[in-house]
Chains A and B, each alone.
Chain A
Amino acid sequence: MANVICRQLTKLYGDTLAVKAIDLEVFEGEFLVIVGPSGCGKTTTLRMIAGLESISDGEILIDGKVVNKVEPRHRDIAMVFQNYALYPHKKVYDNIAYPLQLRRVPKDEIRSRVVETSRLLGIEPLLERRIRQLSGGERQRVALGRAIIRQPRLFLMDEPLSNLDAQLRIQMRREIIRLQRQLGITTVYVTHDQVEAMTMGDRIVVMRGGLVQQIGEPMTIYNHPANRFVARFIGSPPMNLFDGVLENRNDRLVLCTGFAEYALPAQVQARLPSTHLAGGAAPVVCGMRAEDMTVDLADDESDNHALGVVDLVEPLGSDVFVSVKFGEEMLLARTAPDLPLRETQKVCLKLNLAKMHFFDPKTEQNLLR
């Protein structure tokens, strides 16, 4: 078990900045997920922690010691690669045993530990096989086995599930979490899949363009996204965003959107910066999650109700996603499956204003405290 601290960690490839002075701490024993769109620097960050990539600037501390110049083999870190990177010329047994063989562990001990590890992963019958005789899921397990057998102080995983089919991915997701809880080894897990991030991470680091956007527990990030990018990136379907203007009418904030006007509840108003009360009218970007809106068949247009036209109904079984069109804007709401909805039908959309997010149109930062 170890903790990792990245201070102002920077990576330059030629003159492109892949990672821009990020600060990051991985707590002892936690499962930290780094998530972000393609090319945002996740892999680069992970490889710098592993020691496979040189550090352009900043430093990495493992257990309080700067490891910038320490070779990978002396960092006591195990890594699982996206393409597994198993040794094709060795049998499954020797793939898993390899880290111990290099450390000159006695043969008997190696054997018992390989058997134990393979049992844990359910690959004991495969030990005598060659790598090319394994399926993708089995290879994944062998790669995990090779990583856990020597009980490193840190696990790094770079999109280890992305080559698996959807069902196997869900199954392996659970197994990796179970394994990590069982072994309690500090883990940094890289993925571009926000579902993986939400379901697996003790904490999540959201990255974009080489910068950290937000670090926090999954539900904190979901409920309080730091900015517009995080709001759209975390959560499925992505958060609805639409333009609005906050107007100060007798010290009460009113949100004017293209389709309705809403008087903000006092507790929401209190969480907005007071500068928005001072000025006359402030433009904002509003965010609303699909589950924070209710679709109503009654078409009485009153406060907090907006009348729109159903554009598309997507039933998922457990619930239904409804796209409702308000003139220019299109909002996606989640409803119960028993609502009889047809396309082109007029419906009424209630927004739960207490759950509404407000972003600065320029800085894109979340305005709520």
Chain B
Amino acid sequence: MNSTRTIRAISYVTILLPAVLISIFPLIVMISTSFKTSQEVYIPPPTFLPRQPTIQNYFDIWTVVPLGTYFRNSLVIGLGSALIALVMAVPAAYALARFRFQGKRIYMLFLLAIQMFPPIVIVLGLFRLVAALNLVDSLLTLILLNAVFSLSFMIWLLMGYFGTIPPEIEEAAMMDGNSRLGAMLRMTLPLSLPGLVAVTIFGFMNGWNEFLFALTFIRTQENLPLTIGLFKFVTRFQVHWHQLMAASLLTTVVVVILFMLIQNQLTRGMIATGEK
């Protein structure tokens, strides 16, 4: 009993360890580079760990490029798109979880299908649309587009979450004196708070990480989000690796922390949806 478990553990480790190492290697390089001086980055032979670790890069990056502006823009895009998507996802998911209506299956398949679409396929068409609406180079464009692209996954997750809350609780609340809407707002929503937080963070990360739309639709420096802004460390003559890596690390840390917060909720929500 114990020995089979040991064998299994060993085989898991031998298979998974190389995969883990390969996938975190760039991350390690990023961390180590971000603590190097500019000379060390360019003087051969390359070092793995910084010889003279310094945190100077973490101060410089804010002045070399307008990193603060990028951070602010990414925050606005992430939060804005997450909240807009949430406001739309809650009623949609609720209806899917609670009501029977014509075309429900088609609608759900449709939601899944949009998930499969690579954004690059429609970016050209979107550009013409955005241009026609005179919305090029506006944060609002990114907020709306990211909201739309987070929406279907958020609906699926929330639908699973609402489904786990017994409808009788709402019905009891209605008998006790609530309207249907009141019962939903006072019972189902508070009870699904973990799910709501999870999908909001998911939407935020989606907006925060988005690259293609930002690249396509944003023109001016003060509207750039981090994903594009990081390229400002790549100048015509030189790549400022040490600073680029420091800024990248900060960008990533936000996402990693948020993801760790919601990891459990996401898997639980997906399992709940799958069980239906």
Interface residues of A (CB under 8 A from B): 50-52, 71-73, 77-79, 81, 83, 85-89, 98-99, 102-103, 146
For the complex, give the distance between the alpha carbons of A196 and B178 in Å: 32
Decide if B26 is an interface residue (CB 8 Å cutoff).
no
Q: How far is the CB of B127 from chain A (nearest CB, A)?
A: 46
Decide if B169 is an interface residue (CB 8 Å cutoff).
yes
Decide if B191 is an interface residue (CB 8 Å cutoff).
yes
Nearest B-chain residue to A14, judged by Cβ: B100
Partner of A72, one of B168, B169, B175, B190: B175
Report yes or no: A87 in contact with B187, Cβ–Cβ below 8 A. Answer: yes
Report yes or no: A73 in contact with B177, Cβ–Cβ below 8 A. Answer: yes
A-B pairs, top 6 by smallest CB distance, nearest first, are A85-B168, A102-B177, A85-B172, A99-B176, A72-B174, A79-B175
For the complex, give the distance between the alpha carbons of A81 and B172 in Å: 8
Nearest B-chain residue to A156, judged by Cβ: B175
Report yes or no: B177 in contact with A99, Cβ–Cβ below 8 A. Answer: yes
Residues of B within 8 A of A83 (CB): 166, 168
The residue among A51, A71, A87 with the most chain B CB atoms within 10 A of its own CB is: A87
Q: How far is the CB of B205 from chain A (nearest CB, A)?
A: 27
Decide if B40 is an interface residue (CB 8 Å cutoff).
no
Q: How far is the CB of B143 from chain A (nearest CB, A)?
A: 32
Decide if B173 is an interface residue (CB 8 Å cutoff).
yes
For the complex, give the distance between the alpha carbons of A152 and B169 in Å: 19
Interface residues of B (CB under 8 A from A): 166, 168-169, 171-179, 187, 190-191
* 10 new A-B contacts at CB < 8 Å, known A51-B174, A52-B175, A102-B178: A50-B175, A72-B175, A73-B174, A73-B176, A79-B171, A79-B172, A81-B171, A83-B166, A87-B187, A89-B190
Residues of A within 8 A of B168 (CB): 81, 83, 85
Residues of A within 8 A of B172 (CB): 79, 81, 85-87, 146
Report yes or no: A52 in contact with B179, Cβ–Cβ below 8 A. Answer: no
Partner of A77, one of B166, B175, B191: B175
Task: List 25 contacting pairs A-B, 8 Å CB cutoff, sorted by A.
Answer: A52-B171, A52-B174, A71-B179, A72-B171, A72-B174, A72-B175, A73-B174, A73-B177, A73-B178, A73-B179, A78-B176, A79-B171, A79-B172, A79-B175, A81-B171, A83-B166, A83-B168, A85-B171, A87-B172, A98-B176, A99-B176, A99-B177, A102-B178, A146-B172, A146-B176
Q: Total A-B pairs in contact (CB under 8 Å)?
A: 53
Report yes or no: A103 in contact with B177, Cβ–Cβ below 8 A. Answer: yes
Residues of A within 8 A of B177 (CB): 73, 99, 102-103
Nearest A-chain residue to B180, judged by Cβ: A71
Residues of A within 8 A of B175 (CB): 50, 52, 72-73, 77-79
For the complex, give the distance between the alpha carbons of A79 and B174 in Å: 10
For the complex, give the distance between the alpha carbons of A227 and B174 in Å: 39
For the complex, give the distance between the alpha carbons of A83 and B178 in Å: 20
Q: How far is the CB of A131 from chain B (nearest CB, A)?
A: 11
For the complex, give the distance between the alpha carbons of A98 and B187 in Å: 12
Q: How far is the CB of A88 from chain B (nearest CB, A)?
A: 7
Residues of A within 8 A of B173 (CB): 87, 98
The residue among A51, A78, A85, A89 with the most chain B CB atoms within 10 A of its own CB is: A85
Nearest B-chain residue to A77, judged by Cβ: B175
Residues of B within 8 A of A78 (CB): 175-176
Q: How far is the CB of A279 from chain B (nearest CB, A)?
A: 53
Residues of A within 8 A of B178 (CB): 73, 102
Nearest B-chain residue to A74, judged by Cβ: B177
Given contacts A71-B179, A73-B179, contact A88 B191 (CB under 8 A): yes
Nearest B-chain residue to A158, judged by Cβ: B168
Residues of A within 8 A of B190 (CB): 89
The residue among B166, B172, B191 with the most chain A CB atoms within 10 A of its own CB is: B172
